[in-house]
Amino acid sequence: MSEVTSSMELGIDNFVSEVVDPNTGTVYPAPERMKQFLTEVLTADRAGVDSFGVGEHHHQYFLDSAPVVILAAAAAVTERIRLRSAVTVLSADDPVRLFEQFATLDLISGGRAEMVLGRGSFTEAFPLFGLNVADYDSLFEEKLGLILQLREDVHPYWKGRHRPPLTGQGVFPRPAQAKLPMWIGVGGTPSSFVRAGVLGLPLMVGIIGGDPRKFRPLLDLYRKTGIQAGHDPATLQVGIHCFGFLGDSDQQAADDFWPGYERTMATVGRQRGLPAPRRARYDAETGKHGAFFIGNPETVAQKILDLELALGGFTRFTLQMTNSMMAPDTMLRSIELLGTEVKPRVLKARAGS
């Protein structure tokens, strides 16, 4: 279980959040910010980044409440990059409608669509769509079961608590890929790792702080559960998602990312009752065993390789680069470095090992 697996994809999972122009202190107008985001995806595509995900938020500081629409626009201007939700808040949506949308995205993109399904760490979508937070778990369980069925079954028969039954009507269009990729997105909740293992679904783990090597026991739980449930170990893929940012030097990357990070933590974090961010803590997270993959390409590539060994292998690593106070060119440079500098280093080191 500790052998290094054969493939490794490097990706980005960004949010379309409000961004402040660091030179003027004013917020980029929403239409401009949306264009910037599409340019981020386009830049990633051209730089050889393997995949790009967009988050889903129903919140005044974000423009990504309709992620599939954004992904469709990205699909039309890109050629190779895989496109996904990160994550789709499945509990608050209708699985049939979601499947239709992602199948359509798959057609537009020529088979480059993927879904990452999660419970979501925020429940702001619940009251918006008339759902009860108390149903958090049962909504997710039921809807996950249904969307997995829709992937296999063109004319599904289905009955549940949270949605009217399906009686064999067809669900169309069918995607371009024979089996639309569906990952489970998790945080640190143990039962989520067990669920993914039981179902044999690939697992995307979001790590937002602390030493990421501490996730090894949870990943082993996922793998052992999957094998015990009879799934082929090769299907039990793991992806890791962390904050990250690239610059031409370690110092520059850390300094470019800090102001927006501090701003976000000092506003959103404070509203959640958390203490003000400190630079010393931030620097510790960007260090050798922290959760932030921020630095020059050499530093970040080495940190990814070290973590892969420590966690018993993963096949996908994605960076959350979104920053609430950053010039677009700085962001595009970081994206470019991931594709043109980090990826070749990681692949070369793995091929040689």
Partner 1 sequence: MTATEPMRLGIIGAGKLGMTVARLAIDAGIEVVISGSGDVDRLAWTVRLLAPGVRAATTAAVAESADVVVLALPFHRFHTLDRGLLDGRIVIDAMNYWEPVDGADRAPAGGDSSATVQQWFPKARVVKTLNQLGYHALKAAWVATERVAQGVAGDDPAARTTVMALLDRLGFDSVDAGPLAAGVNLVPGSPAFGAASDASTLSSLLRAGATGAGSTAAIWPDRSLS
Q: Which of 1, 76, 128, 154 binds partner 1 (CB under 8 A)?
A: 128
Is 151 a binding residue for partner 1 by CB under 8 A? The answer is no
Is 2 a binding residue for partner 1 by CB under 8 A? The answer is no
Structure tokens, 326? 């950053």
* DSSP alpha helix (H) spans, 243-288: 250-264, 270-271, 279-286
Is 62 a binding residue for partner 1 by CB under 8 A? The answer is no
Which helix or strand (DSSP H or E) is residue 166 part of? strand 166-167
Nearer to partner 1, 134 or 351 (CB): 134
Is 274 a binding residue for partner 1 by CB under 8 A? The answer is yes
Q: CA–CA separation, 222 vs 203, rounded Å?
A: 8
Q: Is the peptide bond before 173 cis (omega within 30 degrees of 0)?
A: yes
Q: Name the minimum Å distance from CB 127 to partner 1.
A: 5
Nearer to partner 1, 122 or 157 (CB): 122
Q: For tokens 């933590």, what's the residue?
A: 265
Phi, psi of 299 (to 5 degrees): -60, -50
Q: CA–CA separation, 303 vs 245, rounded Å?
A: 13
Of residues 181-200, which lie at the interface with partner 1 (CB under 8 A)? 187-191, 194, 198
Is 266 a binding residue for partner 1 by CB under 8 A? The answer is no
Q: Which of 137, 248, 255, 298 binds partner 1 (CB under 8 A)?
A: 137
Is 46 a binding residue for partner 1 by CB under 8 A? The answer is no
Beta-bridge partners for 17: 62
Phi, psi of 318 (to 5 degrees): -125, 145
Q: Which of 110, 111, 209, 287 binds partner 1 (CB under 8 A)?
A: 209
In this structure, the number of other CB atoms found within 10 A of the CB of residue 50 comes to: 21
Q: CA–CA separation, 110 vs 52, rounded Å?
A: 15
Nearer to partner 1, 8 or 87 (CB): 87
Nearer to partner 1, 110 or 209 (CB): 209
Q: Which of 33, 80, 213, 214 binds partner 1 (CB under 8 A)?
A: 214
For 267-306, b/e burial (b = at least 16 CB within 10 A) is eeeeeeeeeebeeeebeebbeeebbbbbbbbebbbbbbbe
Nearer to partner 1, 81 or 311 (CB): 311
Site string for partner 1, 222-261 (x = CB under 8 A): --xx--x---------------------------------
Contact call for residues 180 and 149 (beta carbons, < 8 A): no
Nearer to partner 1, 92 or 166 (CB): 92
From 146-154, 177-185, 255-263, 264-272, span contacting partner 1 (CB under 8 A): 264-272
Residue ranges binding partner 1 (CB under 8 A)? 58-60, 121-124, 126-128, 133-134, 136-137, 187-191, 194, 198, 209-210, 214, 217-218, 220-221, 224-225, 228, 270-275
